[in-house]
Structure 1
Amino acid sequence: MPITVAGKSIETDEEGYLASRTDWSEEVAKEMAKVDNCELSQNHWEVINFLREYYEEYQIAPAVRVLTKAIGKKLGPDKGNSKYLYELFPYGPAKQACKYAGLPKPTGCV
């Protein structure tokens, strides 16, 4: 099901993940979030940008446990916990944040 951003149609899979990572932009992320009735705050962007950097380094989208631990190391224990991440991404921190970051669905996510 494609989404439309700035008049351009962007292909996504049946779960809303980008068909091509090269289509990602902040505007695309905002549109995806709007579909989920989510407005992206600075805290959301910290996680999204962290995920994009993580993917660039490891070529894999982290599962939620790995994400939580890695966020804690980089952004501090107040942000590296499940409660905080689920408040930001109620549909699942790894799944929802990776989708907004233009990354593939994390391994092990249903």
Structure 2
Amino acid sequence: MATTEIYRYLSLPSKEIPLDPEGYLVNRADWDQEVAEALALEEGIPLGDEHWEIIKVLRDFYARFEQAPAMRPLVKAVSRALGEEKGRSIHLMRLFPGSPPKVAARIAGLPKPTNCL
């Protein structure tokens, strides 16, 4: 089993969380709400209810398929779970600017989606 390189630590009042070179968690078990909020702040994103809805969909997707979704499967999963309006790319870009699959997966404590550069 390959080990993931620790690049830096996310410093929280109660703990230090190891991150890989791209800022994803080294240990998915380290994820909780406090970690998600700290990772989101690094991205300049204050988490609101709409963000948490997407994070839940992402974590459910990962639990089911054992991978974080790229953009097209993310849009489809969000549309199914939350309705077509919230499943639009533009909505996801507004919530998670840049690359919604990568940014949202990082905040959700999941590995980088496959097929995302």
Calculate the TM-score normalised by the size of structure 2: 0.91
Unaligned runs of 5+ residues in structure 1 are none
Calculate the TM-score normalised by the size of structure 1: 0.96
Larger RCO, structure (CA 8 Å, separation 6 or more): 1
Deviations 1:40-64 (A, max 9, x none): 0100000001111111111111111
**Aligned counterpart, 1:68:** 75
User: Are 1:21 and 2:37 an aligned pair?
Assistant: no
109, 112, 116: which one aligns with 1:105? 112
**Aligned counterpart, 1:40:** 47
Deviations 1:5-29 (A, max 9, x none): 2231100011110000000001000
Deviations 1:63-92 (A, max 9, x none): 110100111111101001100000000021
SS in 2 for 1:11: strand
Aligned residues between the structures: 110
**Aligned counterpart, 1:8:** 15
Identity %: 45
